[in-house]
């Protein structure tokens, strides 16, 4: 199988070959993985066996991840259909949104890649705040929530420690730190 270049790929290996001391596998993007899974790892379009040349070798494992998908900690045996969907999301959407959304879903569910759902991750991108400055976020939050906010004297507003208020507000959200940002949501 000829692998095309993609940002997100997985290395699928034949477990029987690995146990016999030989590394036999292939790097695949989400399209190639979908086709290989549909053909039960049997043959690619040229008639060659996908993972190894032995017909009695049927077990597989993902030995490596390449691209943003490696940050998700999905392990050797993720649900292939969900893996394909996540890889599509990562290729079609800004990974700086998808990766934190996935990690936030894991944090909320306590699910570390074993039973993830791409739809949960996609929904999370809608309900998620990306916070660069906690104090600024808290200040904007209060300005947007209270119509009387503009009527407060500036001396009172300037005396508020917005960083502390922001940290207190975060207690009401599921949140993670990723990169230079905090991602937070009320979802779930």
Nearest to 87 by CA among 62, 60, 51: 62
pLDDT, tens only, 20-33:
888 888 898 999 88
pLDDT of 6: 54
Torsion of CA 64, 69, 73, 78, to 10 degrees: -80
pLDDT, tens only, 37-59:
876 666 655 656 667 777 777 78
> Domain for residue 109, yes or no?
no
Upper half-sphere CA count for residue 55 (Cβ side, 13 Å): 1
Provide the domain limits for residue 22: 9-93
> Domain for residue 75, yes or no?
yes
CA dist 80 and 36 (Å) reads 11
Compute how many other C-beta atoms are within 10 angstroms of the C-beta atom of residue 180. 6
- Pair (15, 63) in one structural domain: yes
The CATH number of the domain holding residue 153 is 1.10.10
**Residue where one domain finishes, among candidates 73, 93, 113:** 93
Q: How many domains does the chain have?
A: 2
User: What's this model's pTM, rounded to 2 decimal places?
Assistant: 0.71
> Domain for residue 25, yes or no?
yes
Residues 132-147, mean pLDDT to the nearest whole number: 90
pLDDT of 3: 43
β-partners of residue 89 are none
pLDDT, tens only, 158-180:
899 999 999 999 999 999 998 89
- Pair (133, 88) in one structural domain: no
pLDDT, tens only, 93-129:
887 888 888 888 888 877 655 456 777 787 888 888 9
Compute how many other C-beta atoms are within 10 angstroms of the C-beta atom of residue 95. 17
């Amino acid at each position: 199988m000829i692998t095309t270049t993609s940002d997100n790929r997985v290395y699928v290996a034949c477990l029987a070959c690995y146990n016999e001391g030989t590394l036999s596998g292939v790097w695949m993007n989400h399209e190639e993985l979908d086709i290989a899974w549909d053909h039960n790892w049997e043959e690619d379009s040229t008639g060659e066996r996908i993972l190894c040349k032995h017909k009695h070798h049927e077990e597989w494992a993902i030995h490596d991840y390449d691209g943003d998908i490696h940050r998700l900690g999905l392990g050797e045996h993720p649900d292939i259909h969900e893996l394909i969907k996540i890889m599509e999301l990562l290729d079609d959407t800004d990974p700086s949104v998808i990766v934190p959304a996935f990690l936030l879903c894991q944090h909320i569910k306590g699910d570390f890649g074993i039973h993830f759902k791409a739809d949960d991750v996609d929904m999370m991108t809608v309900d998620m705040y990306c916070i660069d400055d906690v104090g600024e976020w808290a200040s904007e939050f209060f300005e947007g929530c209270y119509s009387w906010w503009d009527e407060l004297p500036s001396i009172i507003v300037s005396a508020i420690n917005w960083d502390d208020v922001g940290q207190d507000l975060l207690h009401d959200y599921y949140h993670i730190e990723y990169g230079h940002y905090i991602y937070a949501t009320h979802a779930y």
